[in-house]
């Protein structure tokens, strides 16, 4: 089974990239399921019902998130009612939504997806991502051997450690949050696919999705500024993982970088 994993989707340019490229990748590469991190889809921070619907209508199947999940309150009720949208599993149980789900692929195979939030450098008070992932994986493994884990975290060390911790118990562990694609995709010793960060789906002529001049001025002056979304050089970044449906082990992982202009 081939699954497309998409790195942090940023604003309208990122949503447009998904709309244009994902249907083509599904058709040309035989992709059966699409998972992507969406915590930046609405104006660059948070998500709304309308932006969620836009991506689900663009042939995405599961939407993961991270520390910006609570930025827009109009998504809270949707988190409770829609199992296709995840918030990190290591937030308190009292929070809206869920941190894991089991969804059917286009070939009607059950696939589990888990979302956790890192703690290193994140300035958030949340539970242990290691134990939260372990707990969710144990529950999901009763229903399917194909399990994916989005580790939304800043520190590469924390992501790598989580990858090694989960190796063999899941099909793939992939990092999100930094908006910079890493070149360390691999199959870990016990059969799980791994990449430290999928990258960013959105404007590459930017500072992690934002207008360059404004960010530079902010760093120099330390003054508050409006970080508008950039508009140029739009790419979809992520990875395609091929998984053995019988064992749940990864067969291969391939980085993806697709320019919107190549599809127009």
pLDDT digits (tens, 9 = 90+) for 146-201: 999 999 999 999 999 999 999 999 999 999 999 999 999 999 999 999 999 999 99
Per-residue pLDDT of the chain (264 residues; tens, 9 = 90+): 999 999 999 999 999 999 999 999 999 999 999 999 999 999 999 999 999 999 999 999 999 999 999 999 999 999 999 999 999 999 999 999 999 999 999 999 999 999 999 999 987 778 999 999 999 999 999 999 999 999 999 999 999 999 999 999 999 999 999 999 999 999 999 999 999 999 999 999 999 999 999 999 999 999 988 899 999 999 999 999 999 999 999 999 999 999 999 998
Question: Quick check: 240 and 228 in contact, CB under 8 A?
Answer: no
Q: With DSSP H G I counted as helix, E B as strand and the rest as coil, what are the percentages for the chain, rounded to 5?
A: 30, 30, 45
For the chain, give every domain's residue range. Answer: 2-257
Q: Dihedrals φ, ψ of 126, to 5°?
A: -145, 165
Q: Which helix (H) or strand (E) holds 259?
A: strand 250-259
Q: Which two tokens stand for residue 232?
A: 């140029």
Measure the N-to-C terminal CA separation of the chain; round to a whole number of Å: 28
Class for domain 2-257, per CATH? alpha beta
CA distance 74 to 215: 28
Is 0.95 surpassed by the pTM of this model? yes
Catalytic member of 68, 152, 177, 179: 68
**Residue from 220, 217, 256, 257 nearest 239 by CA:** 256
pLDDT the model gives residue 196: 98
Question: Quick check: 17 and 4 in contact, CB under 8 A?
Answer: no
Known catalytic residue at 179: no
Question: Quick check: 48 and 75 in contact, CB under 8 A?
Answer: yes
């Amino acid at each position: 089974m081939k699954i497309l994993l998409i790195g942090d989707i940023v604003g309208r340019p990122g949503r447009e990239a998904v709309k244009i490229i994902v249907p083509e990748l599904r058709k040309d590469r035989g992709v059966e399921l699409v998972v992507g991190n969406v915590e930046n889809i609405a104006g660059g921070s948070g998500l709304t019902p309308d932006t969620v619907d836009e991506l689900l209508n663009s042939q995405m199947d599961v939407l993961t998130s991270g520390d910006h999940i609570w930025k827009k309150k109009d998504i809270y009720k949707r988190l409770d009612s829609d199992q296709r949208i995840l918030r990190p599993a290591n937030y308190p149980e009292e929070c809206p939504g869920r941190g894991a789900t089991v969804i059917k692929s286009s070939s009607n195979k059950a696939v589990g997806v888990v979302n956790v939030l890192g703690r290193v450098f994140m300035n958030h008070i949340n539970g242990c991502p290691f134990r939260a992932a372990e707990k969710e994986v144990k529950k999901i493994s009763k229903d399917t051997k194909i399990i994916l884990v989005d580790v939304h975290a800043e520190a590469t060390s924390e992501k790598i450690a989580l990858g090694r911790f989960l190796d063999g118990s899941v099909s793939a562990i992939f990092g999100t949050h930094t908006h910079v694609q890493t070149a360390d995709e691999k199959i870990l010793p016990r059969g799980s696919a791994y990449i430290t960060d999928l990258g960013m789906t959105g404007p590459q002529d930017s500072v992690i999705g934002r207008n360059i001049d404004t960010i530079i001025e902010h760093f120099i002056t330390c003054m508050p500024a409006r970080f508008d979304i950039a508009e140029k050089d739009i790419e979809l970044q992520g990875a395609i993982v091929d998984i053995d449906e019988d064992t749940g082990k990864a067969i291969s992982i391939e980085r993806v970088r697709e320019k919107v202009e190549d599809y127009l």
